[in-house]
């Protein structure tokens, strides 16, 4: 049986193994955010601006390179 703590730990280990330091990772077990932003598939990576608006979404697996590029582009937009 998978517990919430085990799921969180697996995510932490995956991020660490992948060399990803994302700062904030939001778990959405009830899919509330996915529903709010109309992300109809899982897994879903949602890039949310500081103002709460959706900047972009990626449905399905995402590579480390693609994720880092998307984060970098979002950070650049936020700084401009």
- Residue 22's pLDDT is 80
Q: Which residue has the tokens 């955010």?
A: 33
Partners of 72 in the beta sheet? none
Q: What contacts 79, CB < 8 A, 6 or more positions away?
A: none
pLDDT average per 10 residues of sequence, the chain (80 residues): 65 85 80 86 86 91 91 92
- Residue 33's pLDDT is 86
Q: How far apart are CA 44 and CA 50, in angstroms?
A: 19
Q: Structurally, how many domains does the chain consist of?
A: 1
Tell me the two tokens of residue 21.
């330091």
What's the CA angle centered on 33, arms 49 and 21, to 5 degrees?
A: 55
What's the CA angle centered on 15, arms 46 and 58, to 5 degrees?
A: 25
- Residue 51's pLDDT is 93
pTM assigned to the model: 0.70
- Residue 4's pLDDT is 57
Q: Domain range holding 34?
A: 4-79
- Residue 76's pLDDT is 94
């Amino acid at each position: 049986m998978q517990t919430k703590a085990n799921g969180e730990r697996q995510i932490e280990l995956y991020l660490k193994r992948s060399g990803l330091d994302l700062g904030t990772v939001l778990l959405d077990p009830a899919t509330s955010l996915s529903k709010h932003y109309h992300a109809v598939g899982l897994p879903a990576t949602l890039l949310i601006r500081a103002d709460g608006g959706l900047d972009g979404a990626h449905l399905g697996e995402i590579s480390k390179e693609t994720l880092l590029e998307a984060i970098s582009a979002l950070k650049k937009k936020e700084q401009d």
